[in-house]
Chain A
């Protein structure tokens, strides 16, 4: 049995295999964005996959009597949960602990990794199976477990595929959406020791299953994420489609659920609203194939389940967001991926380009808060079109948060000196209509001269950034105000 190779941590692994890595996330982002947005094969794969999602999503929404009301209900649930996070998390902990489970509060990635790695060492764990979890990507858990001698298996099919490719997930819901079946067949033939595999999805899934079943039976530790933490019953709620979530949480001796603190919801009955909305937003399904609730380890008389149950609650910057009055609603996110799918920027540059665990609009809002200043460019790498906000099932005002991020970054003095100066000059001109009119006249004269010489888009062109990608910007001979003065104002 071939063991899966070591996962490249997402921090450096944006698109590790095909081009040079830069230490600066913005430089890397610009490079990858230029490459990907010009890659027509990539664009076509994403277009096809997204269009089939679009159809499913619209169809799924039409099953609701009132989709807007469903969104509002979800928003209300999450708002209550986030506004009383302390209360609901403690209630969750109390209920889990009462049944013999363990809850660990991790302030950051390192604490979370250490707790889980120590647990693996203590129990002499050799094999770990994982069901899908973006938080484990965020805290770079797999590498930490491999360091203490564990073999880590991703058991979600999409995650397994990207693990075999040494890549981070491309998308938070559909990790391998950037690949077509031909590429996956080639990968499996190469990595799974089955050189005769046909390009048939059923046969490919069966090949992965043969590997993963053995891993499930060998594993001493199962690691899952959590879609929701249900406070009033103290249970972890997981939505999956492949059944790997149930195997991960019930077969190995130890089950560790790793998740962000924002995943808590007040009551079990909330799932009746949240589960269908999550599934519809994520894939267009009415509900996912499996909805699993895990409340603890196996009790006397029960036929299956782990011997130990641990929940790792990861903060990692979330509570500082909680203290941000405008942006705390970003913690409402249920990680459905709808904002990625509709985002025209995501559709053109793809998931890996972001270089973050959470890509797309939610990633552009969230990452600067979680990982700091070097990811601020993501809040600028968007046209602020607002499509994300219209689809968010918990009604996060995503595109306005991007605008607010920009305001806060500039307020903190993070703007480039040249740009700051430019806006100062601009402001002086805009506050003085004579200066504005004269400046406009001079600029137009100058630009027309430059373009007259055929220098559009050249290094001599002050509007090179615009003109090198488009035909030359139109520059009027006479401004509107000049025309107005010369007679238009009098009806001529």
Chain B
């Protein structure tokens, strides 16, 4: 049984929200897994894929598969980017000579909470987070990967954490990749509803397994000067003290 994972750090996490990946490393190491990071990795190709530019996305995907060649387990702190690898690569690379490698790689790739619960077999990662938290079921994790019990189980095992449910927790926050800027008015109206639901739940923090959605929700919370904050699941799990 390998005790080593290869980290897939989404490009925007690398550049904008590195703490999410740092916290992922902390959690993985704490439960006794060795972490490698292949610096040749860039983007999985999802922005181009979702916008319709499959010819631009395809070489990125092929390159991505080559970069992770030989990696036995790949872990990613994003439901959306994991979806790209596992669910969309087989379609994007349908006629590529790398299709079967891509398929196999998708099966070895796990979203963080999924990895912790299903592969590492851990629910209590030794986290302490004495705060009220509500869970937002981000779309790709929920509807493409069918993950929801995994992050909730991890949250319930965090010492001091009080989990509260918000209204419409399965409704999209409005991020949607390039949709967020192409149709910023609609995206932000949806984000506004999400932010209001977070506040109405009474939670201090809203968490999810997708950093991009959280970045959008945080932007809406802050714009409204709401006190609640968005925090990635990895950062809660990495926490061992009073706050994040």
Contacts and interface: CB of A to CB of B under 8 A. Distances in A.
Interface of A: 30, 33-34, 37-38, 43, 344-345, 348-349, 380-387, 389-390, 403, 406-411, 415, 419-420, 423-424, 426-427, 429-433, 436, 440, 443-444, 465-466, 468-476, 478-481, 483-485, 488-489, 491
B42 A429 contact: yes
Contact of B15 (A380, A385, A408, A440): A440
Contact of B189 (A348, A424, A431, A468): A348
B143 A387 contact: yes
B63 interface: yes
10 contacts: A344-B172, A383-B175, A383-B179, A411-B55, A423-B48, A427-B56, A432-B42, A433-B40, A465-B181, A470-B216
Interface in B48-69: 48, 50-56, 59-60, 63
A423 to B, nearest CB: 5
A472 B139 CA distance: 24
B185 interface: yes
B184 A465 contact: yes
A389 B172 CA distance: 13
Q: Is the interface of A mostly helix, strand, loop or mixed?
A: helix
B241 interface: no
Nearest to B21: A480
A473 B215 CA distance: 8
A440 B45 CA distance: 16
Interface string B27-54: 0010000000101111101011011111
B78 interface: no
Given A33-B185, A348-B193, A386-B139, A423 B172 contact: no
Nearest to A36: B189
Given A470-B216, A471-B218, A387 B171 contact: yes
Contacts of B172: 344, 383, 385, 387
Greatest chain A CB density within 10 A among B9, B16, B216 is at B16
Interface residues of B, number: 65
Contacts of A38: 185, 189
Contact of A473 (B19, B219, B220): B219
B186 A349 contact: yes
A344 B176 CA distance: 12
B50 A480 contact: no
B18 interface: yes
Of the candidates B48, B59, B186, B223, the one having the most CB atoms from chain A within 10 angstroms of its own CB is B186
Contacts of B72: none
Contacts of A389: 143
Contact of B37 (A411, A478, A489): A489
Given A344-B171, A406-B52, A426-B56, A466 B13 contact: no
B185 A34 contact: yes
A430 B45 contact: yes
B22 interface: yes
Contacts of A491: 29
